[in-house]
Structure 1
């Protein structure tokens, strides 16, 4: 990806949704729509052909839903980072996508600024959880614990407390959707230091990616999630940390 352009694939079986996503992303000169797909199989084919930086996927599509498409992209186009579009009432899908490697979750009924912020964040190597999605995930996890939500929160808090104070501070910014570069600016350190902290955080929490770490942060009550729109231009790519 160039320093100024984020190449995006849109996949949704509803033409009006694709048009809306395209229109919103088109307001940012640093984002280029390279392909659009109406089902999961087409999304994978086009991703292999165009190698986008970010794929914005509907969580439910014909011929391979968002979860199946996510898995295929992970195998065939691992450099493409995935943002999942969801609606309320799809908590199980969200949790499966989180476990499958998605790094962004957005609500279709959310604000346009969230879509722009989410695409920019994941392109920059960060995770981005819509505040509404984060709240639903945490609520679902608590309910799944057969009424032991206090115990789950306590467990998450214990995992967070095992981190250093600096790592907790980095985690709070990570959970709010900030990239390594933006966290570095906030903390007045070099980006490499933040990357090292993020790697330690993932290891310490026992999670595989930033999105999963963000869920732990929300569940532990470490942060009060609010969108961080970030700068209006594109970002350079980032890695797992």
Structure 2
């Protein structure tokens, strides 16, 4: 009888553990890479006369989610300023942090962009593991993991945080309670679907609150609210591109 009771107890513990255990998120860090878009600007003649070695640069930092071999999705605003610089007056280099922690400079090509939803598909030296895309809407109150590189230039660390999905914002973005900060834009939000953690959205922004009248311009970042561009717009972005047949 004691053996039977012990067996039943062990069985119940196993069922409870499998039912309430968190999904395995060990792969999520491999899906998201750091992106440093570095633009070498051609110095104006006046500047060259005074500083012959001057090479003005513009730097943009963010994250990107690898969705297929050679392709990643990110936030358009990371690349927008660089793309809007007229051709012929700049050399653009995208600097990626590889998975072994070493940094390398490789060229990136913008394949498709969705300015309205702040998305961009880029081609580069991206290798799998690749993030699987969700096919359904996010589930309310369900666990969400967010992965990105907030303030990577200062801290050099990738962050993985967790929260829950709280609904669709007035901007038609998913509002989740994960903790993020500037630099996480372009990272990914993941939720369990069919037993697997899948990409439900791309990190677009974090919450901001006005402290006092708006005209004072005093604002406070709300790091526990993160806005994700829903994955349905990623599906639309890659449609008709070579990446469409490579994602899973």
Quickly name the TM-score band, shorter chain normalised: under 0.3
TM-score normalised by length of structure 2: 0.24
TM-score normalised by length of structure 1: 0.25
Structure with max Cα Rg:
2
